[in-house]
Structure 1
Amino acid sequence: MIKTGIIGGSGYTGGELIRILLNHPNAEIDFVFSTTRAGKKITTAHPDLLGTTDIQFTGAVNPDVDVVFLCLGHGNSSKFLQENEFSESTKIIDLSNDFRLKKDAVFEGKQFIYGLPELKKEEIQQAHHIANPGCFATAIQLGLLPLAKANLLGKDVHINAVTGSTGAGVSPSATSHFSWRNNNVSWYKPFTHQHLGEINECLNSLQAETGELMFLPNRGNFTRGILATAYTKFGGTISEAVELFKDFYKDALFTQIADEPIHLKQVVNTNQCHVHLHKHNDTLLVTSAIDNLLKGASGQAVQNMNLMFGFDEKAGLALKAGVF
């Protein structure tokens, strides 16, 4: 059993990590750090764990844990690592965007590997520090990577993706409280979302020059999940497209190519990404769906941990959607 630590355990991603790690066959939680809830039970922030654990939040860290997960707001992970030291053997998995881009991947001598298993599995297996991908970035990349690998993203790609309210974090804001979000849909950060940087870097690692990604993110009136649709020009047949995607993901345990149109409920509360392809005249439509808190955050972080420590990649992640 390896010992794990969680920094920032009172938020949504921290809560999901706790839920997964409490049931992981190869890992145990050593501490859950919180500056605002030290000394209080985990269940004060995550009442769904009542009867499952009596762990309390702590205001101190154990620098000798085997792996630490950073579930902090963007910009805060680097600050935390500057103020807190861990042993040389401690592996770090960061869930913020602090180290995802190439220009930020080396921090105080630590080399962070971008943690998208479908693209960088062998590098992750050898890595000591991981920059976990963003939620939108995960959904969109898993819909486009096979096309980039085949050098087929020469034309602009139009992307529309809608995310649940948990994507905005646990702290309330003007666009996340119930009265505003319920029965409401809106776009935000049109064509400028911060995840575009990491998406472009990964696509360009497979195809040197790609068309522009025209990404329009949307806020949905539901809590969990991302449904992304992307369309671009494609000269081949739908059968050729399906074969291309199935070949790319033939060894991917959590990415499935669906024969029928997909919807969010089939992936919510799982670490799965489901992808569907549809062709209209010379346009290929790619739809991908993930749970933003699992495959888009904490589930993928544990998947990366499993790869880093040589565990079964699916360990702790045998989660099934509740469609009805």
Structure 2
Amino acid sequence: MIKAGIIGGSGYTGGELIRILLNHPSATIDFVFSTTRAGKPISSAHPDLLGTTDMDFTGKVNPEVDVVFLCLGHGNSTKFLKSNSFSRTTKIIDLSNDFRLREDSILDGKPFVYGLPELNKEAIQKASYIANPGCFATAIQLALLPLAKAGHLENEVHINAVTGSTGAGVSPSGTTHFSWRNNNVSWYKPFTHQHLAEIKQSITSLQDETGELFFLPNRGNFTRGILATVYTRFEESEDKAIQLFQDFYSEAEFTQITSAPIHLKQVVNTNQCHIHLHKHNDTLLMTSAIDNLLKGASGQAVQNMNLMFGIAQSEGLKLKAGVY
């Protein structure tokens, strides 16, 4: 059994990791660390786990675990690892943005591998440290990587994506308050969102010169999921585009290409990404949908753990959406 530790277990991503690992056939939770809830039951932060586990949060870490997941706010993973050490063999999977970019990816002489399995599967299998991708970045990259591989991103790319309120984290704010968010939608960080850097890093690893990316993120009045619509100029046929995507994802465990238009309920509460293609004149539209807390965070982190330990990617992740 893989012995796992979770740092920052009281937030949304920590809660999703606990749920997955409690039911993972090849892993067990050794500890769940929280500075704010040490000594309290895990169900005090995640009431849906009442009756599922009697574990308490702890203020101590076990440095000998096989893998540790860092579910901390951006910038805090680096600080935590500087003040807490783990064994030479402990694998680290960070869910923040601290190590995603190449210039930030070295810790104690070891590189963090960017943990997008559809792009870096072989490197992930050999890695000791993983930088888990961002949620928007996952949905958008999966809509673009096949075109980059084939050299078809020479023109401008326009991206509009909407995310649920859980994407903002568990701490309440003015734009996550029910009275503001309900029956409402708005954009934020237009054309400057922090996930653009990791998206560009990935697509330029496949195609040196690409057109500019114009990304408009939106807040939706629902709790979880991301729906991204991405379009660019594409002069070949729709059938050609579909073939490019099917070939690129032919061995991808969780990325599905579908001929029918997609919606969020297909993927919420799963580790799936669904992609639909539509051609209009010389414009190709890619629509992708993921659960921001699973394929966009904790589910993908467990998928990476599975790859690192040489077990099936789907272990512990055979989750089913509820459409109705």
Answer whether TM exceeds 0.5 for this pair.
Answer: yes
Distance in 2 between the 1:108 and 1:83 partners? 13
Deviation at 1:2, TM superposition (A): 1.1
Residue aligning to 2:77 = 77
Q: How many residues align?
A: 324
Deviation at 1:170, TM superposition (A): 0.0
Q: Which runs of 5+ in 1 are unaligned?
A: none
Residue aligning to 1:320 = 320
Task: Please say if 1:29 is aligned against 2:41.
Answer: no
Q: How does 1:1-324 map to 2 (within 5 A)?
A: 1-324=1-324
SS at match of 1:89: coil
2:173 maps to a residue whose letter is: S
Distance in 1 between the 2:279 and 2:311 partners? 39
The CA deviation string for residues 205-242 of structure 1, in whole angstroms up to 9 with x for no partner, is: 00001000000000000000000000000011111110
Distance in 1 between the 2:79 and 2:18 partners? 23
The CA deviation string for residues 94-126 of structure 1, in whole angstroms up to 9 with x for no partner, is: 000000000001123231000000000000000
SS at match of 2:68: strand
Deviation at 1:38, TM superposition (A): 0.3
Q: TM-score, normalised by structure 1?
A: 1.00
The CA deviation string for residues 223-279 of structure 1, in whole angstroms up to 9 with x for no partner, is: 000000000000111111101100000000100001100000000000000000000
1:218 maps to a residue whose letter is: N
The CA deviation string for residues 297-321 of structure 1, in whole angstroms up to 9 with x for no partner, is: 0000000000000011100000000
Distance in 1 between the 2:2 and 2:278 partners? 44
SS at match of 1:161: strand
1:195 maps to a residue whose letter is: H
Distance in 2 between the 1:213 and 1:142 partners? 15
1:276 maps to a residue whose letter is: H
1:281 maps to a residue whose letter is: N
Distance in 1 between the 2:293 and 2:53 partners? 21
Identity of counterpart residues, as a percentage? 78
Distance in 2 between the 1:221 and 1:107 partners? 38
Q: Which runs of 5+ in 2 are unaligned?
A: none
SS at match of 1:206: coil
SS at match of 2:227: strand
1:73 maps to a residue whose letter is: G
Distance in 2 between the 1:267 and 1:186 partners? 23
Distance in 1 between the 2:231 and 2:2 partners? 43
SS at match of 2:205: helix
SS at match of 1:221: coil
Distance in 2 between the 1:310 and 1:246 partners? 25
1:89 maps to a residue whose letter is: T
2:235 maps to a residue whose letter is: G
2:64 maps to a residue whose letter is: D
2:81 maps to a residue whose letter is: L
Q: Which runs of 4+ in 1 moved over 6 A?
A: none
SS at match of 2:323: coil
2:133 maps to a residue whose letter is: P
Let me know the Cα RMSD of the aligned residues.
0.4
